[in-house]
Structure 1
């Protein structure tokens, strides 16, 4: 389990607690931060769980080192039924997760940025389960806006 200081240091290291980025740290900073593992073929993998009685994803923030394909294993260890509404280029993915079940989803997140995922079924204490996949990297030159250079951390 990550301590509050370790979580704060990691948010700082990833640049998620600076101006215009603080929202992700505030909304999801109470959950764990995980990293996708990269296979030799470039495909990434990660596992995201719903632990019993926590009403939260674990990890709440998943970090990918770069854009590409990722295979997620979703595990519902809770006594309640949940679902996963996941981002993917071209089409969102939906997986129904009855209690004590698991599912797999292959996503394509080809650009840097924040991609939100959730379990929008039921109320889940007022907001549903909310998480984010953070894809590190910079936008390719052809996708950049024509504007002055912006400060970088």
Structure 2
């Protein structure tokens, strides 16, 4: 049986290095990783990256578990709470594919086609959007609803993605 995607083992020295990197902007993170590579082998950097992915998956899973617990404590039924649509690394990677080439201007602040939003990092939402895109189906904006809780307009980001798709196929 294979290990879960949430397994990781990071040495204390590497964790100390990463503490200074994790809160820095991308350009500083890259410089710090270049320094790490200069002090260590490429194999060590690859191992660190593999372990860091496991840690990221574990953190996302722990956030899901905590959110589920909070929802249950607030009175939500456990079977409903466990269905919460929360971000994951897998969802975020699908979100990168969704947002690729889509101009975010005109999309809502929480658009699934806007890189880094909760909807753009949710595996349920990104899977649904990708399916709708591949089937050329409507995908509705998750930001505006009617009184009954139903979406009222099509997603601007989805429309832009379909337009890009048609242009590349032409």
Task: State the TM-score, normalized to the length of structure 1.
Answer: 0.29
Name whichever structure is richer in strand by fraction: 1
Identify the structure with bigger relative contact order (alpha carbons < 8 Å, sequence gap 6+): 1
Bigger radius of gyration, 1 or 2?
Answer: 2
Name whichever structure is richer in helix by fraction: 2
